[in-house]
């Protein structure tokens, strides 16, 4: 009986979109998912700091192999930025590194003008208190020990920034950005540009890839579903994790062929997406494989197979 249950669990593959509460790490949430589902293979697709809340996409079962693609998706946040001071962590958990200053002379127009200078492809340096590894060590461990080090800047994309609320010394900003963007760094850099300092006091992720808060289930509600045994109702098919990708529908015969790593002819009318890839799905909508177009032979080559 236990073997049958294990086989059933091993066959489960999909996405749980969690509305993470403030106070938990992303790893804490993953552990709760593992415990509640009884499935060891689970992982998130983009860290949310303990102080942040909102959309946390958890891949369960074989779907964890989609992580490299889902993690690279764009993100959207509502950030609360307080002007007038800077901290060593770039958020409210840190120590002030300069005396607070008055920001009454900064208008909403001034704020927005500076804000818009951060839209586009920009270079950003992650916070010293971050999980970035430097010679195998986490930056936050080195920072807590008072060590001196440098973090290499990275290129990110900020697609849009919009001031939603203006209540000095605070402002609420909608941030649409690429994966790898540190909103804490954005708050700090904006404060420096304004000449008054700034730091993040609140952050809520409203979208990750194609999943938004509308798709998210509060963690408390999900934990109740674990207890009741009906958590499956919140499991989203793995094929939807990359729902913006082009898809090809496979016949039962093609499913068997692809499952064994064999190529299938490509329909020239189907244009592949990023990295020349498409989703190969069954007639029932199950994700079978990620397929790469071989332009020389005009065939789809299975790259990752999720069906056996």
CA 174, 191, 186, 91 dihedral sign is negative
CA dist., res. 210 & res. 186, Å (int)? 23
DSSP 73-103: S-EEEEEEEEES--BTTSBTTS-BSS-----
105 catalytically annotated: no
Q: Cα dihedral angle (198, 199, 205, 209), rounded to 10 degrees?
A: 70
CA dist., res. 61 & res. 39, Å (int)? 7
Residue from 19, 28, 49, 110 carrying the catalytic annotation: 49
HSE, side-chain direction, 13 A CA sphere, residue 135: 3
CA dist., res. 207 & res. 184, Å (int)? 17
Catalytic residues: 49
């Amino acid at each position: 009986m236990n073997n049958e249950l294990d086989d059933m669990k091993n066959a489960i593959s999909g996405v749980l979109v969690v509305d993470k509460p403030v106070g938990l790490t992303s790893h804490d949430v993953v552990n709760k998912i593992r415990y509640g589902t009884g499935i060891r293979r689970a992982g998130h697709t983009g860290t949310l700091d303990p102080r942040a809340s909102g959309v946390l996409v958890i891949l369960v079962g074989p779907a964890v192999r989609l992580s490299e693609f889902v993690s690279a998706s764009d993100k959207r946040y509502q950030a609360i930025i307080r002007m007038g001071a800077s901290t060593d962590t770039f958020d409210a958990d840190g120590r002030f590194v300069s005396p607070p200053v008055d920001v009454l002379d900064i208008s909403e127009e001034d704020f927005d003008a500076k804000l818009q200078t951060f839209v586009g492809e920009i270079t950003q340096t992650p916070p010293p208190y971050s999980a970035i590894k430097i010679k195998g060590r986490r930056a936050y461990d080195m920072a807590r020990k008072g060590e001196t080090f440098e973090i290499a800047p990275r290129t990110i994309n900020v697609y849009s920034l919009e001031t939603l609320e203006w209540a000095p010394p605070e402002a609420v900003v909608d941030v649409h950005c690429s994966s790898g963007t540190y909103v804490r760094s954005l708050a700090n850099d904006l404060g420096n540009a304004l000449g008054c300092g700034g730091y993040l006091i609140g952050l809520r992720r409203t979208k990750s890839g194609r999943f938004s808060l509308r798709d998210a289930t509060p963690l408390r509600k999900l934990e109740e579903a674990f207890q009741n045994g009906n958590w499956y109702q919140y499991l989203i098919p793995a094929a939807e994790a990359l729902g913006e990708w082009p898809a090809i529908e496979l016949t039962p015969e093609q499913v068997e062929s692809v499952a064994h790593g064999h190529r299938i002819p490509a329909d020239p009318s189907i244009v592949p997406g990023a990295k020349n890839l498409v989703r190969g799905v069954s007639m029932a909508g199950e994700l079978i494989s990620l397929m790469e177009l071989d332009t020389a032979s005009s065939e789809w080559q299975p790259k990752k197979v999720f069906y056996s």
